[in-house]
Amino acid sequence: MKTFLMCEPAHFDVSYVINPWMAGNEGRVDKRLAARQWENLYGILSGKASVRLIEPVAGLPDMVFTANGGFVCRNHEVIVSSFRHPERRAETQYFSEFFACSGYRVTRLGGGIRFEGAGDALYDSGGQVWVGCGLRSDVGAIQEIAAIVPVRVNGLILVDPRWYHLDTAFCPLANGCVIVYEKAFSARSADEIRKGFGDRAIWVSDEDANNFACNAVNVGNDVILHKASGELKAALEKNNFNVIEVEVSEFIKAGGACKCLTLELG
Q: How many residues bind ligand ARG (CB under 6 A)?
A: 16
Closest CA to 108 of 84, 80, 134, 89: 80
- Residue-by-residue DSSP string for 77-109: EEEE-B-SSHHHHTHHHHHHHHHHHTT-EEE--
67 scored as a contact of ligand ARG (CB under 6 A): yes
Contacting ligand ARG (CB under 6 A), which of 134, 155, 196, 255? 255
In a 10 Å sphere around its CB, with 0-12 CB exposed, 13-18 middle and 19+ buried, how is residue 80 labelled?
A: buried
Element (H, E) at 231: helix 230-238
34 scored as a contact of ligand ARG (CB under 6 A): no
3-state helix, strand, coil in the chain (%, to 5): 40, 20, 40
The CB-of-169 to ligand ARG minimum distance in angstroms stands at 10
Contacting ligand ARG (CB under 6 A), which of 12, 63, 68, 171? 68
Buried b (16+ CB within 10 A) or exposed e, 172-191: bbbebbbbbbeebbeeebbe
Contacts (Cβ under 8 Å, ≥6 apart) of 237: 243
Nearer to ligand ARG, 196 or 255 (CB): 255
Query: What residues act catalytically?
Result: 165, 260
254 scored as a contact of ligand ARG (CB under 6 A): yes
62 scored as a contact of ligand ARG (CB under 6 A): yes
Segment interacting with ligand ARG, rule: CB under 6 A, options 39-47, 72-80, 216-224, 255-263: 255-263
Contacting ligand ARG (CB under 6 A), which of 4, 65, 104, 115? 65
The CB-of-242 to ligand ARG minimum distance in angstroms stands at 23
Contacting ligand ARG (CB under 6 A), which of 7, 18, 72, 80? 18
168 scored as a contact of ligand ARG (CB under 6 A): yes
Beta strands in the chain (DSSP E): 3-6, 50-53, 70-72, 77-80, 105-107, 121-123, 129-133, 153-157, 170-172, 178-180, 201-203, 217-219, 222-225, 242-245, 263-264
CA angle, 258 then 100 then 43, to 5°: 30
Contacting ligand ARG (CB under 6 A), which of 70, 132, 134, 256? 256
Contacting ligand ARG (CB under 6 A), which of 260, 262, 264, 265? 260
- Quick note: the x/- pattern for ligand ARG over 77-106, rule CB under 6 A, is -----------x------------------
> 210, 229 in Cβ contact below 8 A?
no
Segment interacting with ligand ARG, rule: CB under 6 A, options 142-150, 183-191, 240-248, 249-257: 249-257
179 scored as a contact of ligand ARG (CB under 6 A): no
The CB-of-182 to ligand ARG minimum distance in angstroms stands at 18
Judged by the rule CB under 6 A, the positions of this chain that interact with ligand ARG are 18-19, 22, 62, 65, 67-68, 88, 119, 165, 167-168, 254-256, 260
